[in-house]
Chains A and B, each alone.
Chain A
Amino acid sequence: MPLSALTGTKLRDRRLLLGLRQADAAAQAGISASYLNLIEHNRRKVTPDVIERLAEVLGIDRAALVDGKDAALVEDLRAAAARSGQDAELDRIQDFVDRFPGWARLLAALDTRGRALERAVEALNDRMTHDPHLSQSLHELLSSLSAVRATAAILAETPDLEPDWAARFHRNLHQDSERLVAGAEALVGFLDAGQGIEEQGIVAPQEEVEDWLRGRLWSIADTDLADGLEDEIGNLASSAARSLARGFLKRARQDAAAVPETAFRAALDDLGPDPLALAEGFATSPLVTMRRLAGVPSLQAGLVLCDGSGTLTFRKPATGFSLPRFGAACPLWPLYAALGRPMQAINARVQMAGQTDRRHRVIAWAETRHPEGLRGPELREAAMLILPDDGIGPVLDVGTSCRVCARAVCPARREPSILAAEGIG
């Protein structure tokens, strides 16, 4: 199991803090004192069962001992290493996070900031090159300037200019200088438009919306939905994020109308988290019930949505099932199989690379839409619900994204991983 290198140290620290003797703690956990001693000095691997019992005796969260709390940070650092191309000691990330949690968070934060700045530069570059207002203003300026230059040169360089012509060119010059002023003012106004750094794409709008939803624990009560939540949306920094959030809420309201909260809870107790059975009961689409299921905190369900291009349009992670922060996901996800086979449910047990003691059950479903009717294009949307699973039986091996996937042999790999292959040593 992916125990932290310092699990033993943490156990020991905790025991000493409680003032428990090694022998007593060992007895309560049902293991020998010498075994506990070896564990505490990080010399023995521990089975999940023993970890569970020790965690209980010492009153700490098992997840904190294993990989729960810092998993996101470890993932972030891994991704940072993948992007940087530097030779970081990937096998010791957990060690690093345990020993220097502050520095580790700083490193992850710097990487996020670096990516944000890259995006901002791209956004600014796009704006300079493609912004129609900017190019319009510049064209206006250059035109007036050309007229001024040509006219002024005639006035200055034509020795025997007839008075009629001179008067005419003077008038033109005056007109053009006025236009020049207006053009320059428009340009300054445009560049000064006071768009905050957020508007320039420092944070990806989708991430902003996901951060907001994470802060709400991914759950919005029907009463809140009806309320509109305009004040919370107003707090999002960029207009793109606000518009995404409004789109999200609009759909959530439609979902809530089709599947109201109270009736949904009752049906969920009755049928379990089966999006197809629930959809049948409410005479709606499984996509609706999947989105509703993702909003039930006790299920701890993750949810990903993608469009016809396979681009993830919504990402709610599930514990132990990492979702790529950027770029494409693992092509083995049943999400993509469903995308190619609309209206056919895919129900699979999966094992995420690097999560040897945890597995998930995923349900994927895709549909086609024709928002413009028969004359318009066919759009596809796929969803994959990710549920915790402790069942048995064969599993499908999947990953997050090739670059940070430890799967040693994979028929779907599209680029080498930066991680040492799993199952070796």
Chain B
Amino acid sequence: MAAHVLLIEDEPNIAEAIRFLLTRDGMRVSHAAEGRAALKLLRLDRPDLVVLDHMLPGLSGLEILSAIRADPDSRDLPVMMLTARGRDREMAERAGADRFMTKPFSNAEILAEVRAMLGQPRRNP
């Protein structure tokens, strides 16, 4: 079965590009543009990996990450964060992000990271 990636990104064009890229690589991609919809999707259709933007309207990326980590069902879910600034990274790391991509990232980089994360055994199995 195809790996399922949940993409949480408010920039429609970035979301479209990433979605295209991952779908073409054989993954199934769900997309949410903001936090509440994302958390709902997360419960309804459990992903194997979350790609999470840092700067979002409404709930921030960090708040979503904390919510993911607070829920026992998704505590071990691998999360990749898309960040713009260096100092955001430190906070995301503390909040429990597994990997980081700094904007503007290259397609090859993000694809390689996603493949690597999906190929890995789950966090704290």
Q: Are B16 and A142 in contact (CB under 8 A)?
A: no
Q: Are A146 and B105 in contact (CB under 8 A)?
A: yes
What count of chain B residues pass the 8 Å CB interface test? 20
In the complex, A150→B13 CA distance in Å? 9
Q: Are A139 and B55 in contact (CB under 8 A)?
A: yes
Instruction: Tell me, rounded to whole Å, the shortest Cβ–Cβ distance linking B84 to chain A.
Output: 5
Q: Are B106 and A143 in contact (CB under 8 A)?
A: no
Q: Are A158 and B13 in contact (CB under 8 A)?
A: no
- Please give me the residue from chain A that is nearest to B53 by CB atom: A143
Q: With A143-B11, A145-B104 as known contacts, state yes or no: A150 contacts B21, CB within 8 Å.
A: yes
Interface residues of B in 76-125 (CB under 8 A from A): 82, 84-85, 103-108, 110
Taking a contact as CB atoms closer than 8 A, the residue among B14, B21, B55 that contacts A147 in the complex is B14
- B18 CB within 8 Å of chain A: yes
In the complex, A148→B14 CA distance in Å? 8
- Please give me the residue from chain A that is nearest to B108 by CB atom: A153
Interface bits A345-372 vs B (CB < 8 Å: 1, else 0): 0000000000000000000000000000
In the complex, A175→B11 CA distance in Å? 12
- A169 CB within 8 Å of chain B: yes
- A42 CB within 8 Å of chain B: no
Instruction: Tell me, rounded to whole Å, the shortest Cβ–Cβ distance linking A368 to chain B.
Output: 40
- A319 CB within 8 Å of chain B: no
In the complex, A383→B108 CA distance in Å? 67
Q: Are B20 and A165 in contact (CB under 8 A)?
A: yes
Q: With A139-B55, A142-B104, A145-B103 as known contacts, state yes or no: A154 contacts B20, CB within 8 Å.
A: yes
- Please give me the residue from chain A that is nearest to B16 by CB atom: A172
Q: With A146-B103, A157-B107, A165-B20 as known contacts, state yes or no: A138 contacts B84, CB within 8 Å.
A: yes
Residues of the B chain whose Cβ atoms lie less than 8 Å from the Cβ of A401: none
Q: Are B13 and A153 in contact (CB under 8 A)?
A: no
Instruction: Tell me, rounded to whole Å, the shortest Cβ–Cβ distance linking A338 to chain B.
Output: 44
Interface bits B31-63 vs A (CB < 8 Å: 1, else 0): 000000000000000000000000100000000
- B17 CB within 8 Å of chain A: yes
- Please give me the residue from chain A that is nearest to B17 by CB atom: A150
Interface centre among B14, B21, B85, B105 (most CB of A within 10 A): B14
Please list the 9 inter-chain residue pairs (A to B) with the smallest Cβ-Cβ separation, ordered nearest first.
A150-B17, A146-B104, A147-B13, A146-B103, A153-B107, A172-B13, A145-B104, A147-B14, A149-B104
